[in-house]
Amino acid sequence: MAKILQSYELIEELGQGGMGVVYKARHIHFGEIYAIKILWRQFGNNPTVLQLFMNEAKLLRMLSHPNIVNVSDVFVSEGEYCIVMEFVEGRTLEEIIRKEVGPIRRSRAIYLFKQMLNGIAYIHFRPTPIIHRDLKPANILITADDRVKIADFGIAKVLEAGQGASTVVKGTPVYMSPEAIIDPVKVDIRADIYSLGMTFYKMLCAKTPFPEDNSITVTAVYARIMNGEIPPPTAFYPGISEELSDFVMKAIHPDRERRFSSVVEMLSALEVLEKEGSADYGTDIPVSTGWRRFQSAGRVFPDSDSSPGVSLQSGDSWLNNNRVNLNLGIEMVLVEGGEFIMGYNRNRDGDTPEHRAKIDSFLMGKYPVTQAQWKKIQGSNPAYFEGDNLPVEQISWVEAVEFCNRLSMIEGLEPCYTVTKLGGNQGWSDSIEGTDVNVDCDFGANGYRLPTEAEWEFAAKGGLKNSGFLFSGSNNFDEVGWTTENSNETTHEVGKKKPNELGIYDLTGNVWEWCWDAYSENFYRLSLLNNPVCSDSGPDCVIRGGCWELDSNYCSNYLRDYEDLMSKDATVGFRLVRNFESAGKKTLG
């Protein structure tokens, strides 16, 4: 008779590891298939261990990302610690490498590795960062269609510490950083970076620098690492470019201060190598981050169904203040959709005529993106006026789009933007000068994006709570914004002035804000009613709101301006939006 633990019937054993044994299981009421890991009894009935286990497992249960094996339940039954996880059909990366004749094909290795980076970025960039602690090919699951699922977070190491276990590592710590060999519990995210680097090493070379059996001691491994005796990947497989080999060696540097500082930095560096062709064959391009030259010859606005998941405050308190708190300190405000009058007949030609526009509900950033938020995702600070809580500026439209996609991937959301260059190649490229490129926005995706011009003006005017103010939240610019009259020729920390009717700050002055739309002086005369978007193909993109160096007359809710999508200026920043739809189709025209 099959064994039953709580509501789960154990079907068959899938495998054993250092933490315990894994079973395929069926929910006895709903018939759903899961994987259940039962930890070895050596962890015992120690109350301290129990508390550590429950705390760690509950933390994992909160995670939801397409590249992480999701935990759905945790419990203790008959003295056994059990973790219920999604069942993944596929093989481990270790199994795949063993079956390959030589290294994994490089393009496939990079494709898989970037998924690993996205999954780990999600856990590292949470408000309380989570360290995996046990990254290695045996803990990476690959589905038949090459989707990566990261499993086996290192709970066992925490449990061993909780029951007073020695911090001396058992087995051969091929994928462990030197600091983790000394103490596997007291590590930071750079220990995961080392493990990722060594995993990539094996993907590219079909082997690691050390024997993966018991023929070498832990002490010998540690000594070889610290003495700099790890040969580069090119020593095993000369077909690897020097640049890609350098990338791996930086990730596994013995000194964690000299490794990549984050997986986002790793992802940026790898993308640069891909763009330059250095991921396959050597060129003289260093491992670095950054954008080059882009041109836009059009935008595409597909209609898509969408039901994005949004995490609201508990209970019904969000109904009172409309706030939604997201992972990286990006606080969003719900802007309920409706109809409004866009434009202003007494302004310049480009701001007229007044016309009706109907906007779907959406979420808008309570503040412009700050320098602290930018640095956390991009790893550098381009701003002229420096300060963590100042709005980031000197950001091109293209870089703002990149930030949106990267933040979306980190949070496990669907990126809104893709780029197609002439010839059908996908992705960003720094070698497209003089060619046509379509920057596409999937408005049905649930990730972050720039606001449309209509969304921006609707929010600036207070949405459905519009009081008819000239500026966003007041007829007195000094109450709500920073302009040349009060800025002292500099930007100011976000949120220091009064918010508008919706609780959104800094829509008047401080920095201009990029919008998605291309700029056309005739757009208002041709604009459609529902969710209007200007889809002209020129290189100029709309900016709204005015800035610190302009007279308040140029910082009203109505005034439109534009910049080339590649331009960078100390007066221009951006703000994020996301969809907010319970169901149905968003019509864009």
Burial of 386 from C-beta contacts in 10 A (0-12 / 13-18 / 19+): exposed
More confident residue, 535 or 204: 204
- Taking the C-alpha atoms of residue 63 and residue 155, their distance in angstroms, rounded to an integer, is 15
Question: Does residue 438 carry a pLDDT above 80?
Answer: no
pLDDT range class, residue 280, cuts 50, 70, 90: low
Residue 283 pLDDT level (bands cut at 50, 70, 90): very low
Contact 445, 407 (CB under 8 A): no
Architecture category of domain 4-86 in CATH:
2-Layer Sandwich (3.30)
Cβ(300)–Cβ(440) below 8 Å = yes
CATH of 91-276 among 3.80.30.20, 1.10.510.10, 3.40.50.970, 1.10.1060.10: 1.10.510.10
- State whether residue 398 is helix, strand or coil: helix
- Strand 8-16 and strand 4-5: the pairing is antiparallel
Q: What is the pLDDT of residue 588?
A: 33
> Taking the CA atoms of the chain, what radius of gyration do you get in angstroms?
26
Please, are residues 519 and 543 in contact by the beta-carbon 8 Å criterion? no
Is residue 230's pLDDT more than 70?
Answer: yes
**pLDDT for 87:** 93
Three-point CA angle 194, 197, 200, nearest 5°: 155
CATH architecture of 298-304+323-579: Alpha-Beta Complex (3.90)
What's residue 321's pLDDT? Answer: 36
- pLDDT of 218 over the 90 cut: no
The model's pLDDT over 307-320, given as tens digits with 9 standing for 90+, comes to 222 222 222 222 23
Rounded average pLDDT over 174-194: 87
User: How many whole angstroms separate alpha carbon 18 and alpha carbon 76?
Assistant: 19
Three-state DSSP state, 120:
helix
Instruction: Give per-residue pLDDT as tens, 515-551.
Output: 999 888 877 777 777 888 887 767 889 999 999 999 9
- Of the two residues 302 and 280, the one the predictor is more confident about is 280
Ranking 31-45, 108-122, 407-421, 426-440 by mean pLDDT, the lowest is: 426-440
Mean pLDDT along residues 74-101: 86
Q: Which two tokens stand for residue 4?
A: 């039953």
pLDDT at residue 343 in the model: 77
pLDDT of residue 187: 87
**Would you say residue 64 has pLDDT above 80?**
yes
Q: What percent of the chain has pLDDT over 90?
A: 43
Of residues 463 and 529, more confidently modeled: 463
pLDDT band for 426, please (50, 70, 90 cuts).
Answer: very low
Tokens of residue 424, six digits = 């059908």
* pTM for the full predicted model: 0.57
349-389 tens-digit pLDDT: 556 678 789 999 999 999 999 999 998 888 789 999 999 99
Q: Work out the percent of the chain whose per-residue pLDDT is above 70.
A: 79
Residue 323's pLDDT band, with cuts at 50, 70 and 90, is very low
Which range has highest mean pLDDT (234-243, 279-288, 433-442, 490-499)?
Answer: 490-499
Residues 329, 346: Cα–Cα separation, whole Å: 39
Q: What's the burial of 312, exposed, middle or buried (CB within 10 Å: 0-12/13-18/19+)?
A: middle
Domain boundaries, the chain: 4-86, 91-276, 298-304+323-579
Question: Which residue in the block uniquely carries the two structure tokens 């029951």?
Answer: 163
Q: How many angstroms separate the CA atoms of 370 and 165, rounded?
A: 44
Q: What is the pLDDT of residue 292?
A: 20
Average pLDDT over residues 559-586: 81
Instruction: Give mean pLDDT, residues 187-207.
Output: 93
C-alpha pair distances (Å), 345 with each of 56, 373, 546:
60, 38, 19
